[in-house]
Copies of this chain bind each other. A is one copy, B any other.
């Protein structure tokens, strides 16, 4: 994120004074985080632990990559109705580590159980970092007693520390939370996420963890995640690369003491799903803002597609085009590249039906350059940090909204030297 974009980020996601917005405390959840020395930088938090003393209902979605990490394999093994813990490490992805990586998770679970009894089907794991390096089990094992002793209620500081302890190339912690009412009871939702590169989630995101005290069934938690996924985490792309470790988990402690939500057609469920969507969209957008090297946040609004898949296809054909992204980085309204990306997509398109709008100005209308198009106006618009592009394909009623960022020198620097 460059300075200008960071300013916009702050106005969108932080308090007026620049501090993180207050996250609600979630009854029944304790958090702990510390440095296990996985990073060279001394004291950098890299290990975090989320503990539910009385268990929590839960649901998750995982990467569709066929080359998935060991923690993904662990998490996909059927779990108990109530989960007790989640342990997350950064710096090492525990991907392509084979038996060594999977056995390490068993070891951690046993080590934790020496202090607090947690069965393997009550345990989730998440990792993020370099793929293909040996999992640093020894460094982690050594810190487990201290990690467990450190668990505390979810104060503001604890939330931020945990959000920081899951970062890799992220430049800022990503948090979102809110309080609302169900059955006239105050309930809370809070979530943290990380992700900056290798972001083009396929049914899940890098790492996202959402917590609530709402009393709600596992089936409805899963449904709410899935219903909101397409327009939040599955609507973002930083670089078109899908991670081996993508994971989004939700946990509900039920401590709000509302009557348990079990019916999909109920008003309570609808309220919950809508509020969850807000948190998910906020976290997904924060990841895009903090895309590696980003200097612009880009919204692609695709309308008028023959089918939903066509709309999504066009959105990501633009969002993942290197030439489009570099033009935005150069603040050049080189709109021909948007049309190029539409043309190479596999969606049905007809040049003569296409409308293209940059900000509030039409550029292209029904196959021709718009008669009143002024490049000077577009050039000025491109200097902003939030670029809005509307494409109407003129062939139907389906739409999709995608979020992405530009492709800058900084992205190359970060990724050419990532492991150094």
Expressed in whole angstroms, the Cα–Cα distance for A211 and B190 within the complex equals 67
User: For chain A residues 383-420, which have a beta carbon within 8 Å of chain B?
Assistant: 407-409, 411-413, 415-420
Are B323's CB and A415's CB within 8 A?
A: yes
Partner of A239, one of B68, B243, B322: B322
Are B418's CB and A65's CB within 8 A?
A: no
A369 contacts chain B at the CB level, 8 A cutoff: yes
Are A336's CB and B369's CB within 8 A?
A: no
A66 contacts chain B at the CB level, 8 A cutoff: yes
Partner of A323, one of B241, B336, B345, B348: B241
A residues lining the B interface (CB < 8 Å) = 65-68, 93, 95-96, 98-99, 130-133, 197-198, 200, 202, 239-244, 320-323, 326-327, 329-332, 334-337, 339-345, 348-351, 364, 367-369, 407-409, 411-413, 415-420
Are B415's CB and A322's CB within 8 A?
A: yes
Expressed in whole angstroms, the Cα–Cα distance for A336 and B68 within the complex equals 11
By a CB distance below 8 angstroms, the chain B residues around A329 are: 412, 416
Taking A66-B343, A340-B242 as contacts, is the C-beta distance between A369 and B132 under 8 angstroms? yes
Expressed in whole angstroms, the Cα–Cα distance for A68 and B343 within the complex equals 7
Distance between A124 CB and nearest chain B CB, rounded to angstroms? 21
Are A98's CB and B409's CB within 8 A?
A: no
Are A339's CB and B244's CB within 8 A?
A: yes
By a CB distance below 8 angstroms, the chain B residues around A339 are: 67, 95-96, 131-132, 244
Distance between A308 CB and nearest chain B CB, rounded to angstroms? 19
Distance between A155 CB and nearest chain B CB, rounded to angstroms? 36
By a CB distance below 8 angstroms, the chain B residues around A350 are: 66
Expressed in whole angstroms, the Cα–Cα distance for A419 and B344 within the complex equals 21
For A415, give the chain B residue with the smallest CB separation. B326
Are A412's CB and B415's CB within 8 A?
A: no
By a CB distance below 8 angstroms, the chain B residues around A133 are: 336
Taking A67-B342, A131-B339, A339-B131 as contacts, is the C-beta distance between A327 and B416 under 8 angstroms? yes
By a CB distance below 8 angstroms, the chain B residues around A341 are: 241
5 CB < 8 A contacts A-B: A65-B343, A65-B344, A66-B350, A326-B412, A330-B415
- Please give 8 more A-B residue pairs, beta carbons under 8 A apart, in addition to A66-B349, A131-B339, A332-B416: A66-B350, A67-B340, A67-B349, A130-B336, A132-B334, A326-B412, A327-B415, A409-B412
Taking A67-B351, A323-B197, A326-B411 as contacts, is the C-beta distance between A334 and B418 under 8 angstroms? yes
Are A419's CB and B332's CB within 8 A?
A: yes
Among A240, A320, A326, A367, the one with the most B-chain Cβ atoms within 10 Å of its Cβ is A326
For A240, give the chain B residue with the smallest CB separation. B322
For A350, give the chain B residue with the smallest CB separation. B66
Expressed in whole angstroms, the Cα–Cα distance for A327 and B367 within the complex equals 40
Expressed in whole angstroms, the Cα–Cα distance for A408 and B197 within the complex equals 16
Distance between A130 CB and nearest chain B CB, rounded to angstroms? 6
Expressed in whole angstroms, the Cα–Cα distance for A332 and B67 within the complex equals 21
For A243, give the chain B residue with the smallest CB separation. B340
Are B413's CB and A409's CB within 8 A?
A: yes
Are B66's CB and A351's CB within 8 A?
A: yes
Expressed in whole angstroms, the Cα–Cα distance for A411 and B416 within the complex equals 13
For A198, give the chain B residue with the smallest CB separation. B323
Chain A to chain B: the 6 pairs with minimum beta-carbon distance, closest first:
A131-B336, A330-B416, A67-B343, A132-B336, A326-B415, A242-B344
